[in-house]
Amino acid sequence: MSEKTVNALVVKAYRLLAKREYSYHELLQKFLRQASQEDCEEVMRQLISRNAQSDRRFAESLCRSRYGAGKGPDLLRYELRNHRIEDELIETAMEPYSNDWKTLAEQVRKKKFGDELPTEYPELAKQLRFLRQRGFSQAELSQYTHY
């Protein structure tokens, strides 16, 4: 293990983490391009022991950001799993928004299509497709399926 390499990576990690939160997996992948697996794991151990890197904080930050951007829970879960965040952390991070997904879906729909609900099925299908692509589940979309 190279102490010089580890120290250089720790400095780089602090520069990166000063800008935004990173998941463990994301930082590890960045560092593996520059150093050995052993050095990278040592850097990650140091960052975690100093509470500089936290998957919990990363998950909470990503949830806050995506919720604010009008993204739904399915897309958020998918993105967090791609960052290899544990399911328990995902559910904990999403908990503050659990009662708000239907309201958010309605806000996103109104912003894109206006206040009026469509009377014709093809237009409704178009709006539902849009919401599905934004990551809203059938549970959130059920409020529109009264046809």
Cα separation, 88 vs 28, in Å, equals 21
CATH code for the part of the protein at 56-97: 1.10.10
Cα separation, 29 vs 63, in Å, equals 22
Q: Please, what is the average pLDDT of the chain?
A: 93
Of residues 120 and 1, more confidence is placed in: 120
pLDDT of residue 130: 96
* pTM > 0.75: yes or no: yes
HSE-up of residue 124 (Cα within 13 Å, Cβ side)? 12
CATH 3.40.50 assigned to domain 3-53? The reply is no
Q: Where are the domains of the chain?
A: 3-53, 56-97, 101-144
| Domain 101-144: CATH architecture, name and number where available | Orthogonal Bundle (1.10)
What token pair was written down for 136?
């809203």
- Mind listing the pLDDT tens digit for each residue in 38-79? 999 999 999 999 999 999 999 999 999 999 999 999 999 999
